[in-house]
Amino acid sequence: MTRPEDERIKGGSFLIREASPDEVFTPEDFTDEHRMIARTAEEFMEREVVPQAERIEHQDLELMVELLRRAAEVGLLAAEIPERYGGLGLDKVSAMIISEKLAANSSFAVSHGGHTGIGTAPIVLFGTVEQKRKYLPKLASGEWLSAYALTEPEAGSDALAGKTRADLAPDGRHYLLNGSKMWITNAGFAHIFITFAKVNGEHFSCFIVHRDTPGLTIGPEEKKMGIKGSSTRALLFENARVPAENLLGEIGKGHKIAFNVLNLGRLRLGASCVGGCKIGLTAALQYAKQRRQFGRPICEFGLIKHKLSEMAIRTWVAESAVYRTAGLIDAALSGLDEDDQPARMQAVEEYAIECAINKVVGSEFADYVADEAVQIFGGNGYSAEYPVERYYRDARINRIFEGTNEINRLLITGMLLRRALSGHLPLLPAIQRTMQDVLAPSAPELESESPLERERHLVAQAKKIALLVAGAAAQKYRERLTEEQEIVGAISDMVIEIFLMESALLRVLKLSARRGPESCAVQQDIARTYIHDAMGRIELLARQAVSALAEGDELRLQLAALRRLSKFTPMNTIAARRRIADALIQAGRYMLSE
């Protein structure tokens, strides 16, 4: 549903407002077109990619290029390219669905994302009409493949510290690029590189660099822990002559390209990790059903049930967050002209906090699922003869891709505070109200016949806890807060938990209203279990933070306020996890989005 600009939900506002179920997009809202896209991507992976897993793992790059071009034949490279330039012009939800389904092979997924996401999106978002006409049809068809060249040996997380420079040549028609890039996905076969360099050594800018550019040398393949089938190489520029018309965007505005493209890349990565979670969970579930010990299948043992259910909980909650965020971005983009780049950039940038959350959550949950899958497989999980060994190795890179999780945690709190100080987000008044509320007489603990009303109350209390800690931290450190990374990280972790708690709650409320509570009992168990567990984690984070922020009477006052806000009667999560596991075992697969 399209909303006027002043009525659209602001990024980060989930922390200070109560959302309603009808505001969120969920997988249960997929249209027939969305489901068709999901089937197309899933069938393509099953038919074309998964059977070639061994060849891919041994880095058969000719095969990878062939598979990418086959993907183009069924539209999987063209989803977000406008129709006028040979694409399909699909929404962000469709792009997330594709990213999720392609996770069936991580090396292929990384190669696909390097091309369609960070390799193509810069031209879609920032290219001139001439650049779009020249490049996008070829990128949509797979005739040309793309890569993204940002990272340098001394500029990883601090991308703007890059030293690659671009100087206008004497002829005025070319830029001469000098420097190097590293960890460039698709470098072994890409035809073009979206490359960042500083004009005159000062103005961070972006260029479209062709593979055959004189002065460009491409290094050998890196030897990696995982995603071994993808190509990762370094680039060396020595007076590389790049036509002046290949400047992408404006001189000195390269950071806008880098950061906006990374925002979408983080969301795509979150969706891909959800796909990885589903694959790892299904593999572990099927193995646990057929593996027998002590005379019965291991899936009947309580500790295995706990693992399976927790894998499912994290998968479903991450899925809820990913599609909620994609829905928010689609709503913001709705009605905007395809060529209105400033408005479209602003729409994407609005949800940078949510995109960072999805990246952190997806990558860490995927790691958890892969690790537990190996544990369920036991000794066989450590053998390369079984697929979970590869899942484990492939999952690890996701916490480093698209900005490390540590950087993203700093960004989450940093962006919230910047929006508060600029007046874009009324966070400071919300903090002040919260700090006043905690001094008011204690309200009795909520008692309700509706379990989900109790969970709604917990989400509201969790928001107050995060605001209380954020207010205390801002009051003590002010502009120096960014240097207190442990405190910033704790606040970010609380914010992350709140977004997940609320996303799960809103999804199950919407599902219950649509289908009836009885038809989604498992999803209710998942949402309630996650919310109750998350409340405990938030309380611990808050205790750690306030203990570093105050001492003496002030500390005792803040701990007393925290005890009031975090007080609740816990549910029986052991029984809930058993019910979740039993439903999964009966189905034999992840079936919670159907």
Q: Per DSSP, what are the bridge partners of residue 240?
A: 177
CA 594, CA 340: separation in Å to the nearest integer?
37
| Contact of 502 with 434, CB cutoff 8 Å | no
Q: DSSP states of 366-398 as a string? A: HHHHHHHHHHHHGGGGGSTTSHHHHHHHHHGGG
Q: Is 80 a catalytic residue?
A: no
| Contact of 207 with 241, CB cutoff 8 Å | no
State whether residue 344 is helix, strand or coil.
helix
CA 332, CA 368: separation in Å to the nearest integer?
33
| Contact of 193 with 149, CB cutoff 8 Å | yes
Residue found by looking up tokens 């977004």 in the block:
499
DSSP 45: I
Helices (H), 378-484: 387-395, 405-422, 427-437, 451-477
CA angle at 274 for the pair 273 and 278, rounded to the nearest 5°: 115
Single-letter amino acid code for the residue at 476:
K
CA distances from 505 to 158, 455, 502, 591 (A): 36, 7, 5, 19
Q: Environment class of residue 122 by beta-carbon count within 10 Å: exposed (0-12), middle (13-18) or buried (19+)? A: buried
Of 152, 354, 372, 402, catalytic: 402
Helices 451-477 and 552-565, axial angle in degrees (round to 10): 160
Structure tokens at 210: 């062709």
| Contact of 538 with 497, CB cutoff 8 Å | yes
CA 320, CA 339: separation in Å to the nearest integer?
31
CA 176, CA 241: separation in Å to the nearest integer?
5
Q: DSSP states of 199-234 as a string? A: ETTTEEEEEEEETT-TTEEE-PPP--SS-TTS-EEE
CA 320, CA 318: separation in Å to the nearest integer?
5
Structure tokens at 531: 């919310």
What lies within 8 Å, CB to CB, of 162 at 6+ separation is 150, 152, 155, 179, 196, 197, 198, 204
State whether residue 196 is helix, strand or coil.
strand
CA 57, CA 54: separation in Å to the nearest integer?
5
Half-sphere exposure (Cβ direction) of 185: Cα atoms closer than 13 Å: 23
Helix%, strand%, coil% for the chain, nearest 5: 65, 10, 25
Positions annotated as catalytic residues are: 402
